[in-house]
A and B are shown apart, each in its own frame.
Chain A
């Protein structure tokens, strides 16, 4: 087998070596240890652990809320990126910096702040409660927290593509008689799909694994507002290490499959363009 094609670009060997070593140390070995630990369980215990109704409910909440949050971020992230790329206005640099803040803030701080806001007696909560909308201590609260932490991804992946796209493509569409809506749906969005999908996948992956900000706002009601990472911590606190890793392995496999599907979809879309 020939992995190596002759190229004037130097360093294929060393860089590939470093890549493999690095990924092994940082990603593969810890994940391997996870699977190894899980294998201490018998098949029956493993199966009953990962299909426990409480755990199943937590999968639904974790993956469901992460998907909704990533979707919200995909829509609004594109709008934010659009505004940041296309317009000049006072305070633009500030807004641009604000986008990254969810990355910098300790997630627990974010969780506590969001809880204080959305709790029934909080600033936003007291406005929503009379309308019968409950956010804190509900699955909606989980979505809010996951939306918060996933905000930068779509903005930062779409922004450079929009910048590169240039105004003249839009102007071309307008000069050919396209209205605003046609320009957006037929010209701009098709160009952005791969970037939006990448941002969506990153936001989704980040949200699935999120723990710190969620546990405060969710209230952690069994079967209702428990996320999977919380159940893993619970198992750990009960010294059920193998069971904890078992749940983690399932989560990992599902996440991996979902991300793979998103990547395939993205590949399929961008193949038209090369």
Chain B
């Protein structure tokens, strides 16, 4: 029971959305496809769902090459960014839709369908909303209904296309934690498309970083955050300082910049303090080293101990950094 993608290519006119992608989706896990808009992540998801036909390559689902299979035959449930609920149907009718449209032989009885709808409404914690129309619900509630509707047909795979993209930040945070808990309960193989790195790192078991129709890196959230394979991944996942010296680019995360009063082996460079922002859980220090602006993040206690003031100088070093040859062909 796996999905594997082999040398998949998809073009829209002159634009290559997927450029020879190969990928395996682990069974029972939550995989995030992460990348900026236009990087091909949604296109890959739609190809897996059968909503889009690739120009080359194959998608194998459970050992079957699924070139001509309809979305329903692939056993995938799809959740859209803008919910795509049926506006004229109640919440219960929406959830029941996938069962109601089955041919008579395989359609469950009316009682079985309504029991199933009840169970799903409980699962998404909206049992009170059964008779409501979609427009009477909030965005987050609508997306939970869309999820219940997708789960009603008991798909083997759940595909989520930017499911929280249309929601405001607070709801988004709550919902993705809820999604993670839900996944731990039902263990359905899930692919989540997102451009929000925080979201991907928080909910996924495996993260696939996309850029320009290609896969940049596949790994656990920790892998891709702490050991980025490419400059792009480094820049896309969190803030990063880039120092250019002697033809080599050094990438340093702000919390890996350490500050000291004295010069030593760990703090070989001297930087000027441009500004200090202490409003928040950590202190952000803007530095200037040679011609480069740097950002350091330190605990409040550290700031007090070092008695940092704007305009002063400080010795800096990098507790962790990555070096790459300059590659001009990426951008954020």
Using a CB–CB cutoff of 8 Å, the interface residues on chain A facing chain B are: 166, 168-169, 171-179, 182, 186-187, 190-191, 272-274
Max count, chain B CB within 10 A of own CB: residue among A179, A182, A187: A187
Q: Which of B75-119 contact A (CB under 8 A)?
A: 76-78, 80-82, 84-88, 97-98, 101-102
A187–B78 CB distance below 8 A: no
B80–A177 CB distance below 8 A: no
Query: CA of A166 to CA of B70 in the docked complex: distance in angstroms?
Result: 20
A174–B88 CB distance below 8 A: no
A273–B70 CB distance below 8 A: no
Given contacts A168-B80, A168-B82, A272-B133, contact A175 B88 (CB under 8 A): no
Given contacts A175-B71, A175-B72, A177-B98, contact A190 B88 (CB under 8 A): yes
Query: Looking at chain B's contact residues, is the secondary structure mostly helix, strand, loop, or mixed?
Result: loop
For A178, what are the chain B residues with a Cβ–Cβ distance below 8 Å? 97-98, 101
B149–A171 CB distance below 8 A: no
B187 within 8 A of A: no
CB distance from A180 to the nearest CB of B (A): 11
CB-CB nearest in chain A for B95: A176
CB-CB nearest in chain B for A182: B101
Interface size class for chain B? 20 to 34
Query: CA of A177 to CA of B99 in the docked complex: distance in angstroms?
Result: 8
A176–B133 CB distance below 8 A: no
Given contacts A190-B88, A273-B87, A273-B88, contact A177 B101 (CB under 8 A): yes
B88–A179 CB distance below 8 A: no
CB-CB nearest in chain B for A178: B101
CB distance from A193 to the nearest CB of B (A): 9
CB distance from A168 to the nearest CB of B (A): 4
For A273, what are the chain B residues with a Cβ–Cβ distance below 8 Å? 87-88, 133, 135
CB-CB nearest in chain A for B161: A168
Given A175-B51, A176-B150, A186-B97, output 13 extra A-B contacts at Cβ < 8 Å: A171-B71, A171-B80, A171-B84, A172-B149, A176-B98, A176-B152, A177-B71, A178-B97, A178-B101, A179-B101, A191-B88, A273-B133, A273-B135
For A179, what are the chain B residues with a Cβ–Cβ distance below 8 Å? 101
CB distance from A273 to the nearest CB of B (A): 6
Query: Can you list 13 A-B pairs with a CB-CB distance of less than 8 A?
Result: A168-B82, A168-B84, A171-B71, A171-B78, A172-B86, A175-B49, A175-B78, A176-B149, A177-B72, A182-B101, A186-B86, A186-B97, A191-B88
Query: Looking at chain A's contact residues, is the secondary structure mostly helix, strand, loop, or mixed?
Result: helix
Query: When the two chains form the complex, which single residue of B50, B82, B97 contacts A176, counting CB atoms closer than 8 Å?
Result: B97
For B150, what are the chain A residues with a Cβ–Cβ distance below 8 Å? 175-176
Query: CA of A174 to CA of B226 in the docked complex: distance in angstroms?
Result: 41
Query: CA of A190 to CA of B87 in the docked complex: distance in angstroms?
Result: 9
B76–A274 CB distance below 8 A: no
Query: CA of A127 to CA of B78 in the docked complex: distance in angstroms?
Result: 52
A169–B133 CB distance below 8 A: no
Which 5 residue pairs spanning A and B have beta carbons closest together?
A: A176-B98, A177-B72, A168-B84, A172-B84, A175-B71
For A186, what are the chain B residues with a Cβ–Cβ distance below 8 Å? 86, 97, 101
For A168, what are the chain B residues with a Cβ–Cβ distance below 8 Å? 80-82, 84
Given contacts A175-B51, A177-B72, contact A169 B88 (CB under 8 A): no
For A172, what are the chain B residues with a Cβ–Cβ distance below 8 Å? 78, 80, 84-86, 146, 149
For B72, what are the chain A residues with a Cβ–Cβ distance below 8 Å? 174-177
Query: CA of A166 to CA of B102 in the docked complex: distance in angstroms?
Result: 24
B308 within 8 A of A: no
B153 within 8 A of A: yes
Query: CA of A174 to CA of B101 in the docked complex: distance in angstroms?
Result: 10
Max count, chain B CB within 10 A of own CB: residue among A168, A171, A177, A190: A177
A272–B97 CB distance below 8 A: no
CB-CB nearest in chain A for B79: A172
Max count, chain B CB within 10 A of own CB: residue among A171, A176, A186, A187: A176
Query: CA of A272 to CA of B86 in the docked complex: distance in angstroms?
Result: 12
Query: CA of A274 to CA of B133 in the docked complex: distance in angstroms?
Result: 10
For B49, what are the chain A residues with a Cβ–Cβ distance below 8 Å? 175
Query: When the two chains form the complex, which single residue of A171, A176, A274 contacts B153, counting CB atoms closer than 8 Å?
Result: A176
Query: CA of A172 to CA of B133 in the docked complex: distance in angstroms?
Result: 17
